[in-house]
Every structure is written in C-alpha cells, then in structure tokens.
Amino acid sequence: MITEKLDIMKTIREGVQYGLKNFLPLLLMVVLYVLTVWIPYLNVGTTIGLYKAVIGIGRGETINPTAIFDGDNFKNIGKYFLLLGFISVGTAAAAVFMFFPALVISIAWGFAIYFLIDKKASPLKALGLSYDSTYGNKWRIFFLGLLCGIACGIACGILGAIPKIGPALAVIGGLLCAAILVAVEGVMYDYFSKKADLLLSENAAKYSGDFAAEAEEAPKAGAAEPAAEAPAAEPAEAAPEAPAADEPAPYAPKPDDL
C-alpha cells in the first residue's frame, strides 16, 4: 500500500509543467469541448473523451484533441449514466446531514468515473475503489482544488479588470486555466491510479469489473464438502437358466399308454 500522502505543490508543479509542454493540444481540446458541450448526445461522448484525456495525461501520453469525438467513447454510456445516478443519489442523501458529509463523499467518489473507464470496474465497485484509494487524502484533494481555483480566479479577475478588452481577456484566461487544470487533474489521477492498482492486486474480486468474478467465486465459497459415496448395491442373484432348446423335454405318460 502507498503510504506517502499526495503532495499538493508537487502535483500542481508537475501539472503546470505538463500543461506548458502540451499547451496547444490541451487548449484546442478544451476549446472543442466548450464548442460542442451544448450539442445533445454528442456532449456525452465528448465528456467521456475528456475523462479519457485526463487518464492519458496521467500515463504521460500525447494528447490528441480530436480524440474526444471517438465513437468508442459511447461504449460506456450506460454504465456512465448509472454511475452518475449513484453519485447524485448518494451525495443528495449525504446533504441531508448538512453540507460537510456531502463534500466529503463527493471528494471520495471523485475518481469513480476514471476507474469505470480505465480499470473497467462496475459502477458500484468504481465507487468503492475511488473511496478506498482516496482514503487519507480527501483534505489534500480539497485544498489542491481550492488553491487552483483561487489562482485561476485571481488571474481571470486581473485580466477582466483591464478596460475595454477585459471581458475578452477573462474568457481567454479561463480557457487557459481550464487547460492547465486538466493537466493537473491528470497528474493527480496518476497518483490515485497507482493506489487503485495496488488495491486491485490485493483484492481483485472486491473491485473486479462486473459481477462475473463474484459469480465465479460463489460456487467455490458455497460449495459443500463432497458427500460420502453410497455403498455399491450388491449384485442380484442370477435367475435360473432356462433349459436349452436342444435338450429333450422330460417324458410325461399319455392316456393311451396307461
């Protein structure tokens, strides 16, 4: 198990470095996503494609801006919406107990969609894997996001305060910040992806994809010990053999012989 805590400043620094090195592809991907997020159904595929891009950043892969339009992004659409439903219901139930539990559970489940796509986990098990992998790092995740939000807010506020062209510069600054935040998210996912891999190696059945693994384990766990063999039945006595056809029948006296 990884015992080292998430390093907030290191994650931000590496995310910014990656974002600067791959600035144009990241910016183009964000722009394409913003332009198409209003198109029904297509926006589902592009959103899943954006999650895949974050996963690729965590692996150090080169970003392809148009990959958010790949048809493969729609393969997990059913499980994606099912997982969103679980997250929404669970967060709403936690909000009944005031804001704090809802905040904690939303952070704990924050990587469930990534694990659904990357680790092929089922919706319910993706929630469990995200909860367990973020254990002990929830406040670090919160403060990392808070620092990034404050920094982007200050930058956009300064740009927006410039006379005449301020609003346009604020929009551009927001797009630039979004590209950098995607890179930071990818670096952070790399850390929690490694924790998830360790959890999977330690208890694969608990976090396996669908319920196939459980179905395979159930017969093993619930199988009873083999029953003792019943004693073999003794062979029945052979019936007496009928007389052969060529043997003469026994003599019986006829009435004429008497």
Interatomic CA distance for residues 26 and 50, integer angstroms: 10
Give domain status of residue 37, yes or no: yes
Tens of pLDDT, residues 111-121: 999 999 999 99
On whether residue 71 sits in a domain, the answer given is yes
Q: Would you say residue 238 lies in a domain?
A: no
pLDDT exceeding 90 applies to what percent of the chain? 66
Q: Is residue 159 part of a domain?
A: yes
Mean per-residue pLDDT over the chain, rounded: 83
Within 95-174, strands assigned E span none
The three-point CA angle 77-81-83 to 5° equals 115
State the helix-helix crossing angle for 23-36 and 8-21, rounded to 10 degrees: 90
**What residues have CB less than 8 Å from 4, skipping those under 6 apart?**
none
- Could you report the per-residue pLDDT of 94-111, keeping only the tens digit for each? 999 888 999 999 999 999
Residue located via tokens 């919160």: 142
Strand boundaries in 15-145, DSSP class E: none
Looking at residue 142, what is its pLDDT?
96
Q: What pLDDT does residue 3 have?
A: 58
pLDDT band at residue 212 using 50, 70 and 90 as cut-offs: very low
C-alpha span between 46 and 79 (Å, rounded): 16
Report the pLDDT averaged over residues 180-207: 89
16 assigned to some structural domain? yes
204 against 214, higher pLDDT: 204
pLDDT for residue 55 is more than 80? yes
Domain count within the chain: 1
Confidence of residue 65 (pLDDT cuts 50, 70, 90): very high
Under the banding of pLDDT at 50, 70 and 90, the label for residue 234 is low
Backbone angles phi, psi at 211, to 5 degrees: -90, 15
Whether residue 73 is contained in a domain is answered as: yes
Amino acid identity for residue 134 in this structure: T
Q: What is the pTM of this model?
A: 0.77
Domain that holds residue 184: 8-211
Classify residue 223: in a domain, yes or no. Answer: no
pLDDT at 232: 53
In-domain check, residue 222: no
